[in-house]
Amino acid sequence: MAQKILVTGGTGYIGSHTVVELQQAGYETVIIDNLSNSNVGVLDGIEKITGKRPVFVEGDCTDIDILRRLFSEYPGIDGIINFAASKAVGESVKEPLLYYRNNLCTLLNLLELMPEFGVRGIVFSSSCTVYGEPDRNPIDESAPIKNATSPYGNTKQISEEIITDFINSGAPVKSVILRYFNPIGAHPSALIGELPNGIPNNLVPYLTQTAAGIRKELTVFGDDYDTPDGSCIRDYIDVVDLAKAHVMAMRRMLSSSEDTDRIEIFNLGTGHGLSVLELISAFESATGVRVPYRIGARREGDIEKIWADPAKANNILGWTASVPVTETMRNAWAWQLRTDSKSNS
């Protein structure tokens, strides 16, 4: 019988791509999402790609009664992937309690209900933000955790600690914590992708909207960093590659043949850093479309350079990022063009 996975935040950006990969790998999926940062139309995209509409519950994970009802209504859930969270760094500085409440209550509720409903494992979306500005690159999982620079980042650190304490207390659950580097791109079908709310904060949606003429120009935040071309360096990871890593993590966590640690942490990145200017030029050469940009001031709080050492995920999960950045850029562009045509129609 197919294993059943609860995907919280499953209509969101990374969640929707992961539901596609889970379904294609033969898992049954149940999504819960409160649609605070996504829309229900995403289910159509998932259905078109996989031929199967996932079960969808509209609800808020901070409400434990809603979750308890879900677990009763859909019995036999084997594992959870917890994407549901608020994720805008700047907003978290202005509305810290909203972030602590949403991100931490969601996790506490899920953990509390897991033993009650016999759910064996939880995959948690963490972030390379827990490393702060690294002392050296590439960075592996043993690198020190630095003080968080925003309430959002702090929710990720606290969440990792909550999961660790819970499992160390002897709770009958396992967990895989995935520290994402910079997820970008869209599904190659252009049927699902990232749906930024308002003016995007992140580089790639801003870049594709600029290329599409929605924004006048992209501002490169600083060209005086200690990097070869002066702009910041990140490890940009294709969202489909990232989604596939969740399937592998789930398989390993739930496998009875694998005697795995009760809690495991993996970096998910390509292992290669790209500067902002290099990414712009990758987009231009992949699509043939020019991106008007100017060099602006540094953005407060930005990390200068960070990229992953993904060896642990490569060797233990058997996962490697494989989509070349030019293809990721073409997919991001195809998705941008599709969202434009939808919003104009």
Positions touching ligand NAD (CB under 6 A) are: 8-9, 11-15, 32-38, 60-62, 83-87, 102, 106, 125, 127, 180, 183
* 96/200 with CB nearer ligand UDP: 200
- Is residue 232 part of the contact set for ligand UDP (CB under 6 A)? yes
In the DSSP assignment, the letter for residue 70 is H
As a 3-state breakdown, the chain gives helix, strand, coil percent values, each rounded to 5, of 40, 20, 40
What does 234 interact with, of ligand NAD, ligand UDP, none (CB < 5 to 8 A by kind)?
Answer: ligand UDP
Looking at residues 306 to 345 of the shown chain, list those that interact with ligand UDP (rule: CB under 6 A): none
- Shortest approach of ligand NAD to residue 288 CB, angstroms? 27
The whole-angstrom distance between residue 92's C-alpha and the CA centroid of its chain comes to: 17
Q: State the Cα–Cα distance between residues 242 and 14, nearest whole angstrom.
A: 8
Q: Is 152 tagged catalytic? A: yes
* 190/306 with CB nearer ligand UDP: 306
Q: Which amino acid does the sequence have at 171?
A: A
Q: State the Cα–Cα distance between residues 83 and 239, nearest whole angstrom.
A: 14
Please state the φ and ψ torsions of residue 257, each to the nearest 5 degrees. -80, -25
Strand-pair category, 233-234 with 274-275: antiparallel
Site mask for ligand UDP (CB under 6 A), range 257-276, x = bound = -------------------x
Choosing from 137, 202, 314, 320, the residue that interacts with ligand UDP (CB under 6 A) is 202
Long-range Cβ contacts of 18-21 (<8 Å, 24+ apart): 18/81, 18/83, 18/242, 18/243, 18/246, 18/247, 19/46, 19/54, 20/46, 20/49, 20/50, 20/187, 20/192, 20/243, 21/240, 21/243, 21/244, 21/246, 21/247
288: left (phi over 0), alpha (psi -120 to 50) or beta: left
Task: Using the rule CB under 6 A, give the single segment among 14-22, 164-172, 200-208, 318-326 that binds ligand UDP.
Answer: 200-208
User: Nearest residue by C-beta to ligand UDP?
Assistant: 232
Choosing from 187, 234, 246, 252, the residue that interacts with ligand UDP (CB under 6 A) is 234
- Shortest approach of ligand NAD to residue 30 CB, angstroms? 13
Choosing from 38, 62, 103, 182, the residue that interacts with ligand UDP (CB under 6 A) is 182
- Among residues 152, 180, 206, 236, the one annotated as catalytic is 152
What does 87 interact with, of ligand UDP, ligand NAD, none (CB < 5 to 8 A by kind)?
Answer: ligand NAD
- Shortest approach of ligand NAD to residue 168 CB, angstroms? 23
In the DSSP assignment, the letter for residue 20 is H
* 62/336 with CB nearer ligand NAD: 62
CB 140 within 8 A of CB 227: no
Active site residues: 152
